[in-house]
Amino acid sequence: MAKRENISSSVIRRLPRYYRFLRELDKQGITRISSNELAKRMRSTASQVRQDFNCFGEFGQQGIGYSVAELRDEIENILGIKCHYPAILVGAGNIGTAIANQVIFENRCFDLVGVFDKDENKIGSKIGEINIRHTDDIENFCNNNSVVTAILCVPKGAVEELSERLYNLGVRSFWNFSHYDLNMKFKNVIVENVHLSDSLMQLCFRINQEHNN
């Protein structure tokens, strides 16, 4: 655990997947697992698994394997899953509603504290326990709540103005579902982009390759 500062970004990218598998194992009542077995389940290699876990401490014991719960807890700590950063979501369309429900349901990393939309017909209806507010109320809301993160589920055309407002309110991290490139606009913000169409193009490429071989 003393080693934590050395964790490479590629290891970090793999952590959520390890976390999902370890939670699954825990649910199945499996308390210990070898790197071989974990690698087999994850379609990885034992040496990759050992190398990754070595980055953040001594969890494995030769012949005994890893403690599922310890490893899961440590990854939970590294990722900060219990932090519950206050987040708002803007754009309560289909994707926004789905994402809001997921964030509420998973109840980790972030607490969804506000949902905003500009459509008057949606104002006052609820997602989970949260009232949908008008986007005009964002300033007021953010000034009264320590919002850390904004989840952007609005069309590309709306992001520029919206992100500027949020930035001026002190929001410095974004989960961005639009195709607007926030990193180009602000230098000192954390942006996690979800580009669904990129994922679709990857799938298309792989099907193409298969058909042409």
Q: What is the DSSP letter of 132?
A: E
Sign, CA dihedral 161-164-168-171, equals positive
Contact 162, 90 (CB under 8 A): yes
Question: Does the footprint of its own copies cover residue 2 (CB under 8 A)?
Answer: no
Query: Nearest distance from residue 63's CB to its own copies, in Å?
Result: 26
Residue with smaller CB distance to its own copies, 19 or 53: 19
Residue with smaller CB distance to its own copies, 127 or 162: 127
Query: Nearest distance from residue 12's CB to its own copies, in Å?
Result: 6
DSSP lists the bridge partners of residue 33 as 66
* Residue 76 identity: E
* Spatial distance between the Cα atoms of 84 and 149, rounded to a whole number of angstroms: 11
Question: Does the footprint of its own copies cover residue 173 (CB under 8 A)?
Answer: yes
Residue with smaller CB distance to its own copies, 69 or 109: 109
Question: Does the footprint of its own copies cover residue 13 (CB under 8 A)?
Answer: yes
Strands annotated E in 76-169 = 85-90, 110-117, 126-127, 130-134, 149-152
Question: Does the footprint of its own copies cover residue 45 (CB under 8 A)?
Answer: no
Rule CB under 8 A: which of 95-154 touch its own copies? 95, 97-99, 101-103, 106, 108-110, 148-149
Residue with smaller CB distance to its own copies, 61 or 170: 170
DSSP lists the bridge partners of residue 89 as 115, 151
DSSP lists the bridge partners of residue 67 as 32
Question: Does the footprint of its own copies cover residue 163 (CB under 8 A)?
Answer: no
Question: Does the footprint of its own copies cover residue 206 (CB under 8 A)?
Answer: yes
Q: What are phi and psi of 174, to 5 degrees?
A: -135, 135
SS3 137: helix
Query: Nearest distance from residue 87's CB to its own copies, in Å?
Result: 9
Tokens in use for 205?
């490429």
Binding site for its own copies (CB under 8 A): 12-13, 15-17, 19-20, 41, 43, 78-81, 83, 85, 93-95, 97-99, 101-103, 106, 108-110, 148-149, 172-173, 175, 179, 183-184, 190, 192, 194-208, 210
